[in-house]
Chains A and B, each alone.
Chain A
Amino acid sequence: MSFSRFVFQKDAKIAVILNLIDPGIGGVLLAGKRGTGKSTLARAATRLLGRGVPCVQVPLNATEDALLGSVDIEEAIRTGKKVTAPGLLSRAAGGVLYIDDVNLMSPELLNLILDAQSRPPTSELQSVPRSCHPFAFVLIASMNHEEGSLSAHVMDRFGLCAVFDGTVDQGARFRILKRNTSTADRDSKFFAPDRNLGRRILEARSLLGRVEISDEMRARIANLCLEAGIAGHRGDITLQRAAAAWAAARGDMRVGEEHISRALPLVLIHRTRTPSAFHPPGSPENNTPDHNGQDTQDEQKPPQDIRPPGEQPEDEKGNSGDESPLISESRQGQSREEVFPVGEPFKPRRFILKKDRMERKASGRRTKTKFSGKGGRYVKSVLKRRDNDVAVDATLRAAAPWQKWRGRRTNLIIEKEDLRYRQRERTMGHLVIFVLDCSGSMGVKKRMIETKGAVMSLLVDCYHKKDKVSVIAFRKNAADLVLPPTSSVQLASRLLQDLPAGGKTPLAAALLTTYQLIRQTAARNPHARCLAIVITDGRANQALSNLPVREEIANCARELARLGNADYVVLDTEDKSGFMRADLASDLALMLEADYFTTDDLKAEYLTQIAQRAKHQAG
């Protein structure tokens, strides 16, 4: 498929072109569901600049040395000198670097790539680039956000982002299919438009240095970014550059309103929204019928000013600048919704993550690696000894330059100091997922206050243990991943303050979202373990499908219980003193094979015993 014959996805095409004109924009992230043509477009883009321009693909299997370059073993042995072979990053210099499924890539490697790519000219924060800066490469990455998103911080480092709209009408779908089944593409004349486009991109590149921007436009840019409430200044800089590149592409020598507005959505989309908002408007995810009929106005609401981090909201509803859909709903001032303050935190006695099923499996694997030196995901080599897990390649590289000196005849001479060990991707540790019931029943007798107190206490515990945390909140007719996995407990606690309560209890939806998150986590890091803490009174009354609510929950719970990398705790928030108690949450705990506590248990000395018992079982 040639770039010019790619149908639709105009945003994505423009985002690519802008980056090819000005690589300083900082790369483009193509996000979309499966089968929407992300990779096809990215691959077509890599050919746009024509032959001779390097195009390097980073496969998922890449190791650190492959990216950065490493000692050339053969040369080193022959000459006895440390000769470095270039890595992927330097091979991409001046060209295009392309990553498919970037969200599945090891975060460590991705950071290396982003570091190499983004060297913003810091002295020019406030001015438009007058010339094309020497750059490393144009970064084009694709991801399917159904398989887990990138952290907000990493996303921000991509200059532009375009979301592939999967919802095309019949006519469009027909055209796409027609293009894809056409045999004409093999004909070289169909690449002629691509060659033209490539030429135009190079022309625009040469114009770029002369494109001017007025102070007025600059102020406009700063204002737009401020209004959108995006953190940091990368958005401003990127918007400036992207608008200038678009002006150059159109042959305009001054940046105008129209250039800015063309570039704006590409700059904002990944900086202002939560990953769950990635679904383009109109997609089925956003169209679920809403019983209260109020959620859907979210999109039209003017963005709020950004609140400096750490500052607490002054009142319960309203001024928070947080971006989660849940919170923006709360601004609508629904009468039945309330935001409860966080109850007094307490110090939960060492809350030990129970059942070491996965750990033991992993250690079993580790024993095996002693002999075969294989298994897991090998990311880089280190000097520090790890389980006899020798990184042969790195060891050879370390030994290579010495062979001449050591007087090698045939076999290589490896000394103890040459030994390098493999560092495997097992860095994530635990992910603690808080699955929080925010339905109306939680508002009764201010149970929410107490519950928030309990969650806060657990969060503090997670902070001490350096766990990653994630929050799924469920109420009305949906469960939302309001906080994707993060190491920032601070972020979680701020979010907790603002969580409103009210509406129905879609427990099944919450379990489903939990299931998806655990699967995603496992896909990225096979060794990660999850602990899902389900905080609810168990009074589910909102189903996902046509099945009865209870049956659906049983189905979901069974699937969850089957997952090998997760453990569960159910925290029952029902008021046990009243005669209305139904003890539904304890049923859920049984189905999940979970540990079960009431909020009171959690405070008590009792927890220590439970934790110790769990530890005993695991050992």
Chain B
Amino acid sequence: MIFPFTAIVGQEQMKLGLVLNVIDPTVGGLLVMGEKGTGKSTAVRALAELLPDIEVSAGCLFHCDPESSTLCTSCTAKLAGQATLGREKKKMRVVELPLGITEDRLIGTLDIEHALKHGEKRFDPGILADANRNFLYVDEVNLLDDHIIDLLLDSAAMGNNVVEREGVSFSHPARFILVGTMNPEEGDLRPQLLDRFGLCVRVDSIADLDQRVEIFRRRSAFDLDPDDFLRAWAPEQQTLSERIIAARRSLRQVEWTDEILRKVVEVTLAAQVDGHRPDIVIMRAARARAALEGHRDITKEDIRETAHLALSHRMRRLPFEEPGAGQRKLESVLANIL
């Protein structure tokens, strides 16, 4: 039993960040900064539960999308022998990346047992294979070994995991919604890596007394009788699920003017962020938000709401300053331009 997404109190920014990524995974993932026990992993699991099944190539270990042109090495081979791939439905999952993970387990490696028993080479898929078209949840991403993060973000950026090691040569799509969490007090993430997360939000424990009461009221109701609780929230869940599906469908129809593009550039220039990734991320996130709101055009409001999520972790700062130190500057930039 999973706590319903719509019943989560507060944390609106985090919820928005997750939903935007679900509508358009090219937004590039979400980094959640904050303390423990603020409902980060609950929210991710809850959202996965709410989403419709995905259609995958039948029997494929990598959940290849039969519609896509990028397939794993075995599906490509399969397709060479037959006209179409078999299909089956799968529930979206939240795959967790444990902290002590090794390179082998992350990207996959030679299937040693198979090789010893049968003398045949076979690829033993890693976590990135499980994660394809699912959520990849990395708790405490700042505590991962640097070379593991490099590999992870490399694949995330490519949308593909290319393995060339230990006598195995294999590639499979690795398009996942990357959700990382970190507590900035426990160590920093290199700016280059922060930049690879599309969006970033801060979560804090809720200070408002009424909201706090509401949180544990709902939680205890859920713990007491989950079935009943889920029934009560079913309509809300249904509505959000339908909105997401509709938004995904209308995403490609959303339009925007040059004026909007100009505003985005003005914002990123004034915020002094490096590179072009922030510009592109804002546009993608704004488009997803417009689709979610059922608009045909991207509005300034879409930009304002998403620029926040896209820029806070990209503002320049010194290593000993907290990520988010530029928050006030960002506020004033957005207020001035939009």
A-B CB contact pairs (8 Å), 10 listed: A36-B274, A60-B151, A61-B107, A61-B151, A66-B165, A73-B121, A176-B279, A377-B103, A545-B318, A556-B320
Taking A61-B107, A63-B164, A392-B166 as contacts, is the C-beta distance between A526 and B269 under 8 angstroms?
Answer: no
Beta-carbon contact of A34 and B269 below 8 Å: no
Beta-carbon contact of A512 and B274 below 8 Å: no
Beta-carbon contact of A35 and B278 below 8 Å: yes
**Nearest Cβ in chain B — how far from A34, in angstroms?**
5
Q: Pick the residue among A174, A377, A545 that contacts B261 (CB under 8 A).
A: A174
Beta-carbon contact of B261 and A101 below 8 Å: no
Residues of B contacting A37 with CB < 8 Å?
Answer: 276
Beta-carbon contact of B320 and A403 below 8 Å: no
| Cα-based distance from A545 to B321 in the complex (angstroms) | 11
| Cα-based distance from A462 to B223 in the complex (angstroms) | 63
| Cα-based distance from A507 to B18 in the complex (angstroms) | 42
Q: Which 4 pairs from chain A and chain B are nearest by CB?
A: A35-B275, A35-B277, A393-B166, A66-B164
**Nearest Cβ in chain B — how far from A425, in angstroms?**
9
| Cα-based distance from A582 to B110 in the complex (angstroms) | 62
Residues of B contacting A526 with CB < 8 Å?
Answer: 145-147
**Nearest Cβ in chain B — how far from A391, in angstroms?**
8
Can you name the residue of chain A whose Cβ is closest to the Cβ of B149? A523
Chain A residues 487-530 with CB under 8 Å of chain B are 512, 515-516, 519, 522-524, 526
Q: Please tell me which stretch of B5-13, B86-94, B188-196, B301-309 contacts chain A, meaning at least 4 of its Cβ atoms lie within 8 angstroms of it.
A: B188-196
Can you name the residue of chain A whose Cβ is closest to the Cβ of B269? A170
Beta-carbon contact of B164 and A173 below 8 Å: no
Is residue A277 contacting chain B, with contact meaning CB distance below 8 A? no
| Cα-based distance from A377 to B107 in the complex (angstroms) | 13
Chain A residues 35-57 with CB under 8 Å of chain B are 35-37, 39, 57
**Nearest Cβ in chain B — how far from A150, in angstroms?**
16
Beta-carbon contact of A396 and B116 below 8 Å: yes
Can you name the residue of chain A whose Cβ is closest to the Cβ of B187? A562
| Cα-based distance from A411 to B113 in the complex (angstroms) | 10
| Cα-based distance from A284 to B120 in the complex (angstroms) | 56
| Cα-based distance from A378 to B145 in the complex (angstroms) | 15
Beta-carbon contact of B105 and A374 below 8 Å: yes
Taking A73-B121, A374-B102 as contacts, is the C-beta distance between A35 and B320 under 8 angstroms?
Answer: no
**Nearest Cβ in chain B — how far from A560, in angstroms?**
9
Is residue B214 contacting chain A, with contact meaning CB distance below 8 A? no
Interface size on A (CB < 8 Å)? 71
| Cα-based distance from A35 to B187 in the complex (angstroms) | 23
| Cα-based distance from A392 to B168 in the complex (angstroms) | 12
| Cα-based distance from A544 to B166 in the complex (angstroms) | 47
Residues of B contacting A59 with CB < 8 Å?
Answer: 154, 162-164
**Nearest Cβ in chain A — how far from B114, in angstroms?**
11
Measuring CB to CB, which residues of chain A are less than 8 angstroms from any residue of chain B? 33-37, 39, 57-63, 65-67, 70, 73-74, 77, 85, 88, 100-101, 104, 144, 146-147, 166, 170, 173-174, 176-178, 180-181, 183, 284, 372, 374-375, 377-378, 391-393, 396-397, 400, 403, 408, 410-412, 414, 512, 515-516, 519, 522-524, 526, 544-545, 555-556, 558-559, 562
Residues of B contacting A173 with CB < 8 Å?
Answer: 265, 268-269, 276, 279
Q: Pick the residue among A166, A178, A378 that contacts B103 (CB under 8 A).
A: A378
| Cα-based distance from A559 to B278 in the complex (angstroms) | 27
**Nearest Cβ in chain A — how far from B333, in angstroms?**
14
Chain B residues 235-262 with CB under 8 Å of chain A are 252, 256, 258, 261-262
| Cα-based distance from A393 to B138 in the complex (angstroms) | 29
Residues of B contacting A57 with CB < 8 Å?
Answer: 162
Beta-carbon contact of B274 and A35 below 8 Å: yes
Beta-carbon contact of A412 and B119 below 8 Å: yes
**Nearest Cβ in chain A — how far from B174, in angstroms?**
12
Residues of B contacting A396 with CB < 8 Å?
Answer: 110, 115-116, 167
Q: Tell me which of B119, B262, B272 has the highest count of chain A C-beta atoms within 10 A of its own C-beta.
A: B119
Is residue B169 contacting chain A, with contact meaning CB distance below 8 A? yes
| Cα-based distance from A88 to B165 in the complex (angstroms) | 10
| Cα-based distance from A176 to B187 in the complex (angstroms) | 34
Beta-carbon contact of A400 and B119 below 8 Å: yes
Taking A70-B167, A555-B320 as contacts, is the C-beta distance between A35 and B154 under 8 angstroms?
Answer: no
Residues of A contacting B328 with CB < 8 Å?
Answer: none
Beta-carbon contact of A74 and B121 below 8 Å: yes
Can you name the residue of chain A whose Cβ is closest to the Cβ of B262? A174
Is residue B97 contacting chain A, with contact meaning CB distance below 8 A? no
Q: Pick the residue among A36, A101, A166 that contacts B150 (CB under 8 A).
A: A101
Taking A33-B275, A35-B195 as contacts, is the C-beta distance between A411 and B117 under 8 angstroms?
Answer: yes
0 or 1 for each of B62-106: is its CB under 8 Å from A? (1 = yes): 000000000000000000000000000000000000000011110
| Cα-based distance from A59 to B106 in the complex (angstroms) | 14
Residues of B contacting A35 with CB < 8 Å?
Answer: 195, 274-278
| Cα-based distance from A526 to B163 in the complex (angstroms) | 21
Is residue B35 contacting chain A, with contact meaning CB distance below 8 A? no
**Nearest Cβ in chain B — how far from A8, in angstroms?**
10
**Nearest Cβ in chain A — how far from B218, in angstroms?**
39
Is residue B112 contacting chain A, with contact meaning CB distance below 8 A? yes
Supplied contacts A60-B147, A176-B276, A180-B276, 19 more A-B pairs, CB within 8 Å: A35-B274, A61-B107, A66-B169, A74-B119, A74-B121, A77-B119, A144-B192, A146-B191, A147-B190, A174-B262, A177-B264, A181-B261, A284-B272, A374-B102, A374-B105, A411-B117, A526-B147, A544-B318, A559-B319
| Cα-based distance from A397 to B121 in the complex (angstroms) | 11
Is residue B215 contacting chain A, with contact meaning CB distance below 8 A? no
Is residue B55 contacting chain A, with contact meaning CB distance below 8 A? no
Beta-carbon contact of B279 and A177 below 8 Å: yes
Beta-carbon contact of B150 and A523 below 8 Å: yes
Residues of A contacting B145 with CB < 8 Å?
Answer: 526
Residues of A contacting B264 with CB < 8 Å?
Answer: 177
Chain B residues 130-158 with CB under 8 Å of chain A are 145-147, 150-151, 154, 157-158
Can you name the residue of chain B whose Cβ is closest to the Cβ of A520? B190
| Cα-based distance from A397 to B277 in the complex (angstroms) | 44
Beta-carbon contact of B104 and A62 below 8 Å: no
Beta-carbon contact of B166 and A181 below 8 Å: no
Can you name the residue of chain B whose Cβ is closest to the Cβ of A508? B318
Taking A173-B265, A174-B261, A177-B265 as contacts, is the C-beta distance between A60 and B154 under 8 angstroms?
Answer: yes
**Nearest Cβ in chain B — how far from A47, in angstroms?**
14
Is residue B280 contacting chain A, with contact meaning CB distance below 8 A? yes
Q: Pick the residue among B107, B116, B187, B283 that contacts A177 (CB under 8 A).
A: B283
Is residue B266 contacting chain A, with contact meaning CB distance below 8 A? yes
| Cα-based distance from A57 to B163 in the complex (angstroms) | 10
Residues of B contacting A176 with CB < 8 Å?
Answer: 276, 279
Beta-carbon contact of B115 and A61 below 8 Å: no
| Cα-based distance from A166 to B102 in the complex (angstroms) | 35
| Cα-based distance from A277 to B317 in the complex (angstroms) | 21
Beta-carbon contact of A412 and B115 below 8 Å: yes
| Cα-based distance from A397 to B195 in the complex (angstroms) | 41
